[in-house]
Each structure stands twice: as C-alpha cells, then as structure tokens.
Amino acid sequence: MKNFWQQLNKPIFALAPMEEVTDVAFREMFAKYGKPDVMFTEFVNVDGLTHPEGYKRLSLDLKFTEAQRPMVAQIWGANPDKFFLAAQIVAKLGFDAIDINMGCPQDKEIGLGSCAALIRQPELAGKIIAATIKGGGGLPVSVKTRLGYSKTDEMPAWIGFLLSQNLAAITIHARTKQEKSKVPAHWDEITKAVRVRDKQQETRDKNNRTL
C-alpha cells in the first residue's frame, strides 16, 4: 500500500490531534478553508475500540470525509494484542495510516502504562509497534512521542530506538512527559534528534556497503 508520508512536500503542515477538539466537523472546516498536508483523529483507545459496546461509542471519533485525506487514525493503549485488532479495524475503515500515541502526559493514561509511559518501556513499545504494523496490513504506521519521560537527555536513546522500528514517520513534541506543556519547547532537541536519525542512516549505509 502506498506510503503517503514519502510523497509529502517538506516542511509538512499538519493539523495536530487534539482530544475533544479535532473531531470530524472541526477537520472538515480546515479541509474546506485551509487544508493541511495531513490530518489526525483524536486519540482512540484500543481497548474500547476492540470491544463491541466501546466500538459503538468510539466509532464516531473515527468518522472522516474524503476531503480530509490523507487521514490518520491515532490510537493509544498498552496491550499489543488490542493494537493488532484495532489496526485491523482502522484498515477496514479506509484510513490512510495509523499513528500510535506515545506522548500524552496525562495521569490517567500514564497510570494505565500507555502513551508517554511507554518511553520507559521500550520493549513493550516495540511489541505494540510490531503488532500495529502487522494488523494494519500495509498501512504506514507512525508514532507521536516526546523527548523523554523526565529529562531531555533521554532523547537520543529513545528516538534512536524508535528509528529502528520500521516506522513511516515520527512526530516529536519538543518537551518531556514531566514538563507537559508548562515550559517552552526545546527546539534545539529536535535538531539533535535529526542528527540521531542521520547518524543511524549513515551507519546503515556503511554496513550495507560492507555487505
């Protein structure tokens, strides 16, 4: 299946996912009057989405129109099996891609071991990504995350890990989980993240030439 991320002009202009804000009606307004390159749904919990009763309620959050494409479904949770099933649902609904929320800093989500809590659980994060890719049946899978859990110097290891996970894209909120949105964004850390990406790419290219 075509990976639209590779076709977008740079820099990418996106309508960020915002809980209880970016619903189908809100996105349609932007699609009509100032369409960004890509739009996301509000984040949808995989446990609820994969439960019959939960699906009835959450399916409204996954409504979109053709004018809103490319359309990305953002999902969250902590159970890889549920991510696999949720990705299958998203694929059947006709989305262009799937985004995994690994950045929400709210206490409720952190208490469930999901969202930004996954920064401290890379093994589980990797299983979730793999399950989502498999369940999506070819849909490009991306991750939204933060620089780290409590310190910005966690960024190189965490982003380096994500870069090794066969993701189509990574979106970085330039603050840590602990900072939430209470401090100015650390834009210099985004530059450092790009350097991490470039260094890993250089290493891969060198290894491929050696082989």
Q: Which residues have C-beta within 8 Å of that of residue 48, sequence separation ≥ 6?
A: 54, 55, 57, 58
Please, which residues have CB within 8 angstroms of residue 88's CB and are 6 or more apart in sequence?
135, 136, 137
Peptide bond into 140 cis (omega under 30): no
Tell me, yes or no, if 104 is annotated catalytic: yes
DSSP-derived secondary structure for 82-144: HHHHHHHHHHHTT-SEEEEEE----HHHHHTT-GGGGGG-HHHHHHHHHHHHHHHTT--EEEE
| Rounded Cα–Cα distance for residues 176 and 183 (Å) | 10
Per-residue tokens: 183: 């401090």
Q: Are 100 and 115 in contact (CB under 8 A)?
A: no
Strand partners of residue 14: 38
Can you list the alpha helix ranges (DSSP code H) found in 137-186? Answer: 155-163
**Given 104, 125, 162, 193, the catalytic residue:** 104
Measured distance CA(71)–CA(57) in Å, rounded = 20
CA 120 to centroid of chain Cα atoms: 17
Report, as residue numbers or ranges, the catalytic residues: 104
